[in-house]
Amino acid sequence: MKKQTIINMTPHAVTVHFEKCANCGDTRIHGTDLGYWDEGHAGGMGACGDMHQWVEEVRKFAPSGQTIRLEMETEPRRPIDGIPTSVIKFGEPIGLPEQADGVYYIVSQIVKSACPERTDLLVPTDVMRDTNGNIVGCRALGR
């Protein structure tokens, strides 16, 4: 497979918890049967058939130090019940690198939504929280 690189463009570490087969390296989403099997795997079940040896795997992406922000404009609107209201208009992304083969960027959902033509932007999905509600990781990267 061609080399693939994932660069975290958010200010926070992103931790992905998943399961990986100790034999063949196939992966699936943590706590599910959801795996993506490449064509050529017998029966669509991956290289080991239904005999995968799933082990927990964690990949941590430290912040790269670069971030992407969106141009932003605040337009005040008529107050509701005496409370000021506004509409925020988002513009062009600032700091978004050119798309490059095999390079993917972890970004916020708002940046991803602002750039629907970019296929190289990933967001943490299926977020995992501890008992206090703090985000401790995610189970996949959303494309």
Which parts of this chain interact with Zn ion (CB under 5 A)?
21, 23-24, 26, 48, 52
Measured from the CB atom, the residue of 9 and 21 that comes closer to Zn ion is 21
Token pair belonging to 38: 């490449």
Measured from the CB atom, the residue of 48 and 128 that comes closer to Zn ion is 48
Measured from the CB atom, the residue of 41 and 118 that comes closer to Zn ion is 41
Token pair belonging to 118: 């970019």
Look at strands 103-106 and 5-8 and give their pairing: parallel
**Minimum separation from the CB atom of position 4 to Zn ion (A):** 20
Measured from the CB atom, the residue of 26 and 120 that comes closer to Zn ion is 26
Say how far apart CA 2 and CA 115 lie, in whole Å: 25
**Minimum separation from the CB atom of position 54 to Zn ion (A):** 8
Say how far apart CA 135 and CA 14 lie, in whole Å: 10
**Minimum separation from the CB atom of position 86 to Zn ion (A):** 53
**Minimum separation from the CB atom of position 48 to Zn ion (A):** 3
Give whole-number Cα distances, 49 to 41, 42, 43, 54, 57, in Å.
Answer: 8, 7, 7, 13, 20
